[in-house]
Amino acid sequence: MKTILKNLSTAFLLLIIISVAGCEDANSDVDTSVDSGSSSGEISGIWQKGTTHNITGDVIIPEGKSLTIEEGVTVIMDPVAKTEFIVKGNLYSLGTADNPVKFTVQEKDRTVDNKFGKKWGGILATQTCSELILDHTILEYGGSTTSDASTSVKLGLYKAVAGENLPALWFSNVKGKLVVTNSIIRNFQEDCTYIEGGSIIFSNNVFYTTGVSGGEAMNFKSGCLVDAAYNLIYSANTNAFKLSNAGLRNPQADIVAYNNTMVNTGWRRPTAKGGSIWVENAVIAHIYNNLFANTRFGIKRDTKSLEDARSEFSNNLYYGYDQTTVNQFQPSKDVIGGKNDVIGTTAGQNDPGFVNYPLNNPVSSPDFDITWDFHLKSNSTALGKGTTNFVRHFSNPITFSNGLAYASPAPATFIGAYGPAK
């Protein structure tokens, strides 16, 4: 009898050990504590609401796996290791207005001296990443320069060479799905985004304090079908949008950019390429209802590599505080004029009527005041001047395997990203 009981006790103990080990395996990627410690290497599963994750080395979401980041999560990137966040699987960063997800650095590194970042790499999504969502997500203080030791260089990602400044977000799957919405990208060294394919929505985002000597807010290449709407871009070093069919991937790049507000873009670029929207290399560009306030140029084309003839430009508004600015958005060989544009020839014409923004703010200043309000006063020139008579790609939602679905927002009859003040 003692032998039987002893064997039963041993078996029961073994069963407990196996069960505990199984639970540990099943939850090895799920963090439940407020401070979830340090991470490097492969990651997946769920980062739960309100947790903090210290990324001490490069991390990789493996192909075939996913990481869901819940509201209020803070991801602290290591400025010494210049950590990179590599996505071979899928990433769903799902914050809320009150509790955004934040990719950042330690508070002591969030300084004026570091306003152009360089402290960590970026989110780099490979061709095996089929789905990526950034919703109510803040990306800040990144854009470090690659070296021969960088994981992205070793894996052949982005431009795959040392000496490149990483974007906040790189996405490269022409069959993939990408949504960036309700998010903020700020304090990066160069490009905010560099997108080389996919079905894509960029909506209701804010971009500011980016680009030391170059860099766009949204940079789209061949393989991209894009709806970009209701975005605010302040003082991008070069352009708010760079639209190109470079790379010759299928499908041909086709971008619908509407109801965006661009302020002071392009003035910190030392060459004439900087401005507001740049189109080139057979891109199909549909540009409507955009507000250009003190941008260095209007919509510019590469005269040696033109946009596709099916491109359309209409119902955009241009404002310049000084005569130099006004002169530089007048239609010419390389500056595109559109139908029904609101455009004057003298300084101060067509004041957009922002609720709270000093139109004499120095155009070379990259500094953004979060109290500014770019909604429109009741007497704004931009009210009632927009068009809704065009087709966007994703009026029917892009659906994701986790059950989420995002449609691009409908266009408005006002011009710009923000309507009348309430």
pTM of structure:
0.91
Q: Which of 61, 154, 49 is nearest to 95 (CA)?
A: 49
Residue 244 lies inside a defined structural domain of this protein: yes
Tokens encoding 48: 């739960």
pLDDT band at 91 (very low <50, low <70, confident <90, very high): very high
5 phi and psi angles, rounded to 5 deg: -65, -40
Query: CA 262, 267, 270: angle at the middle one, nearest 5?
Result: 140
pLDDT band at 18 (very low <50, low <70, confident <90, very high): very low
The per-residue pLDDT for 270 is 76
Q: What is the mean pLDDT of residues 87-103?
A: 99
Q: In this predicted structure, which of 7-11, 63-67, 306-310 has the lowest mean pLDDT? A: 7-11
Q: What is the mean pLDDT of residues 195-207?
A: 99
**Overall number of domains in the chain:** 1
For 137-187, write each residue's pLDDT tens digit: 999 999 999 999 999 999 999 999 999 999 999 999 999 999 999 999 999
Residue 23 lies inside a defined structural domain of this protein: no
Domain range for 209: 31-406
Residue 81 lies inside a defined structural domain of this protein: yes
Residues 290/416, Cβ–Cβ less than 8 Å: yes
The per-residue pLDDT for 422 is 86
The per-residue pLDDT for 10 is 40
Instruction: Say how far apart CA 264 and CA 208 lie, in whole Å.
Output: 10
Residues 110/156, Cβ–Cβ less than 8 Å: no
Q: How far is CA 363 from CA 232, 324, 348, in A?
A: 16, 12, 15
Mean pLDDT, the chain, whole residue set: 92
Residue 9 lies inside a defined structural domain of this protein: no
The per-residue pLDDT for 15 is 36
For 353-388, write each residue's pLDDT tens digit: 999 999 999 999 999 999 999 999 999 999 999 999
In the chain the first and final C-alpha atoms are separated, in Å, by 82
% of residues, the chain, pLDDT over 70 = 91
296 phi and psi angles, rounded to 5 deg: -65, -35
Residue 135 lies inside a defined structural domain of this protein: yes
Residue 339 lies inside a defined structural domain of this protein: yes
Q: How many CB atoms lie within 10 A of CB 228?
A: 27
Q: What is the mean pLDDT of residues 288-298?
A: 98
Residue 415 lies inside a defined structural domain of this protein: no
For 318-337, write each residue's pLDDT tens digit: 999 999 999 999 999 999 99
Q: Which of 352, 318, 358 is nearest to 338 (CA)?
A: 318
Residues 225/251, Cβ–Cβ less than 8 Å: yes
% of residues, the chain, pLDDT over 90 = 88
The per-residue pLDDT for 30 is 36
CB neighbour class for 149 (10 Å; exposed up to 12, middle 13-18, buried from 19): exposed
Residue 18 lies inside a defined structural domain of this protein: no
For 20-29, write each residue's pLDDT tens digit: 333 333 333 3
pLDDT band at 274 (very low <50, low <70, confident <90, very high): confident
The per-residue pLDDT for 37 is 64
